[in-house]
Amino acid sequence: MSDMPQLDLVTVEIANRVATLTLNNAAKRNALSRALLDALIAGLKGLDLRDVRAVILRAAPGLSVWSAGHDIKELPRGHEDPLGYSDPLERALRAIRELPVPVIAMVHGTVWGGAFDLVLSCDMIVADETASFAITPVNLGLPYNTTGLLHFIGRLPMNLIKEMFFTATPLKAEAAERWHVVNHLVPSAELESFTRALAEGMTTKAPMAVAVIKEQLRVLADYQPIAAQVFERIQDMRRQVYESADFQEGINAFLEKRKAVFQGI
C-alpha cells in the first residue's frame, strides 16, 4: 500500500488502484469546515493521473457520526447567501461529481445536513445498520440552494424529499435501503470488505468508458432548463429567508445549544 502525503483533516491511501479518502476530524465530528473541505478537494485532485480507478469516501473507523454536516460557525451571519456557488461545500460537491472515476460513499454512523448532499453526490452508497441520513436546514431557518435541491430531485422521490426537508427527521438504514437511497446495506462487520470488493471490481473495467459514462450521466442529470424569470424568483424567495430574523434565530439557537423559536419573520 502506498500513501499520498498526509492531509491534516483528510487522509488518502491508494492500493490496487483504489483510493480511500478518510474524513479524519473526530474532535469536530467531521463537521464540513472550509479546512476539511479544502483538504478533501486537494485529496481528490490528480487521482486519475495516479491510475486510480475508483475512490472510497469514508469517515475514520469507530466514529458514530460520519459527518455532522456544514460547520454552522462558518455560515455567513449577515445578509449574504449562505450556500453560494463558491461555498466550500459546493466546490467539494462539484469535485466529486466531476471526478472521472467512480466515488463510493462508505457510511458507518449518522450523516447530517450538507453531509447528506455530499454522500448523494457520490456515485454509489454502501452503508451498514448504524447509518442514518438527515437534511436539516429547517432547524436553522436556512434556505437550501437550488443546486442542492436539484441533487436531491435527481436521486430521491419527491414525497421523500419533502418529508426529509420539512421534518429534518433522520432516515434510518433500513428505510434508506427501502427508498433506494443506498445501493447496498450490509452488516457492519462486512462494510469495509464489501465496499473494497465493489471498488476493486470496477478497477478491472475500461477506465475511459467508465469516465465518459459518468460524465454523460452527470451532464444529463444536471440538465434542468429553468427560465430566467423563474430562477430570479427562486433567488428572491431564498434572499427573503436568509435575510430574515428566523435565520439569525436559528444560527443563534444552534450556537447557544437551545431550541430555536421561529416567528416566521
Compute the residue count for the chain.
265
DSSP 204-258: TS-HHHHHHHHHHHHHHHH-----HHHHHHHHHHHHHHHTSHHHHHHHHHHHHTS
| Residue 127, phi then psi, degrees to nearest 5 | -135, 165
Write out the catalytic residue numbers: 70, 114, 144
Q: Which of 124, 166, 125, 122 is nearest to 144 (CA)?
A: 166
89: cell is 461545500
Q: In whole angstroms, what is the distance from residue 94 CA to residue 13 CA?
A: 22
Cβ pair 252, 72 in contact under 8 A: no
Distance between the two ends of the chain, CA-based, in angstroms?
Answer: 56
200: cell is 476493486
